[in-house]
Amino acid sequence: THFGYETVLESEKENRVAGVFHSVAESYDRMNDLMSFGWHRVWKDHFVASLAPGLSTSNPGQPQRILDVAGGTGDIAFRLVSAAHAASPNPKLHVTVSDINSSMLSVGRDRSLALPASHQACLSFLEANAERLPPQVQDNSLDLYTVVFGIRNFTNPLAALREAHRVLKPGGVFACLEFSKADKHPLFNYVYKRWSFGAIPLIGQLVAGDRDSYQYLVESIERFPSQEQFRDMILEAGFEVSGDGYEDLTGGVAAIHKGVKP
Ligand code: SAM
């Protein structure tokens, strides 16, 4: 049947994505640096600074509750916690790093052991599918939901956006950093496409011994909706956005989208 067919495709995509991230977990951080010339660090720092973690909570006196979805090896969560500590000596926040993939999470957990104890105390880890968050993530319970370089891997991004909307408090913020379309500048776009389709699978093969996984990553970027299409999905899930609803980074190679739950 039509539905049977869809289910097969969906579970195939889930398995494929799981395979990719089990096989890249160890080399993931090094590969990010190589493939983006270190740009992913600049984007992540900018993203986190724009969120001013630890400074806003809808419930004063309570810690700001943050869920970092598809948090992988912890890059965003660690930055959120350290930005909050830089802004205040005793910040009130708790960041849950969640990911569908146990290998990525366990690399993240190991990395977190190198952080100061005061930072570790603000972190916890949760194996979870963003499209069906587990019951411990309750309705209207979060101040901030982050998803960075994750949502384009989801089988059903709109389902994940609806889950984000469900678990955020009214006034809570959805914030996403994701690869996007650089097509506003044709020459730049041409060079960028040549790089991503030509060099990235090759680097994947040479450095990580895994061409297919990196080929998949490049194709998933190509397939992901444009800035405007993704903003419209965020609206469809029930969020409000201000202005265009997104900010381009490096000519649109990546973009930040934000929405507020009314
Ligand atoms: N946010 C981290 C970062 O920026 O370094 C990790 C990004 S990594 C490219 C993408 C992550 O999405 C992987 O760890 C993968 O396991 C996770 N992922 C894929 N599908 C998912 C799903 N349905 N629910 C939760 N996480 C998922």
Q: What would the pLDDT profile of 135-172 be if each residue is shown by its tens digit?
A: 999 999 999 999 999 999 999 999 999 999 999 999 99
Which of 9-23, 180-194, 219-233 comes out lowest in average pLDDT? Answer: 9-23
**pTM attached to this predicted model:** 0.91
What is the domain-level CATH number for residue 113? 3.40.50.150
* Single-letter amino acid, residue 148: V
Query: Residue 245 — left, alpha, or beta (φ > 0 → left; ψ -120 to 50 → alpha)?
Result: left
Higher-pLDDT residue of 240, 11: 240
Residue range(s) defining the domain that contains residue 67: 2-260
140 labeled part of a ligand binding site: no
DSSP letters, 40-79, are HHHHHHHHHHHH-TTS--SSTTSPEEEEEET-TTSHHHHH
Q: Is there an atom of ligand 1 within 6 Å of 101 CB? A: yes
Distance (Å, rounded) from C-alpha 217 to C-alpha 168?
A: 29
ipTM confidence: 0.99
Residue 225 DSSP class: P
73 labeled part of a ligand binding site: yes
Distance (Å, rounded) from C-alpha 72 to C-alpha 196?
A: 22
Distance (Å, rounded) from C-alpha 244 to C-alpha 149?
A: 20
Distance (Å, rounded) from C-alpha 164 to C-alpha 210?
A: 33
Q: Is there an atom of ligand 1 within 6 Å of 108 CB? A: no
Burial of 80 (0-12, 13-18, 19+ CB in 10 A): buried
Q: Is there an atom of ligand 1 within 6 Å of 148 CB? A: yes
- The tally of domains found in the chain comes to 1
Q: Is there an atom of ligand 1 within 6 Å of 100 CB? A: yes
Instruction: Using the atom order of ligand 1, give the atom closest to the CA of residue 155.
Output: 23
Q: Is there an atom of ligand 1 within 6 Å of 70 CB? A: yes
The CA distances from residue 5 to 1, 11, 129, 220, 223, in Å, are: 6, 10, 21, 21, 20
Q: Is there an atom of ligand 1 within 6 Å of 149 CB? A: yes
Q: Which two tokens stand for residue 106?
A: 């366990």
99 labeled part of a ligand binding site: yes
C-alpha 152 – ligand 1 centre gap (Å): 9
Distance (Å, rounded) from C-alpha 20 to C-alpha 192?
A: 23
Q: For residues 214 and 31, is the Cβ–Cβ distance under 8 A?
A: yes
Burial of 243 (0-12, 13-18, 19+ CB in 10 A): exposed
Which of 35-39, 111-115, 183-187, 224-228 comes out lowest in average pLDDT? Answer: 35-39
Closest of 135, 69, 65 to residue 98, by C-alpha? 69
Long-range contacts made by residues 198-207, C-beta under 8 angstroms, separation at least 24? 200/35, 203/31, 203/34, 203/35, 204/31, 207/27, 207/30, 207/31, 207/34
Average pLDDT of the residues in 208-227 = 89
Instruction: Using the atom order of ligand 1, give the atom closest to the CA of residue 148.
Output: 1
List b or e across 160-198, with b for residues whose CB sees 16 or more CB atoms inside 10 angstroms.
bbbbbbbbbbeebbbbbbbbbbbeeeeeebeebeeebee
Average pLDDT of the residues in 20-35 = 69
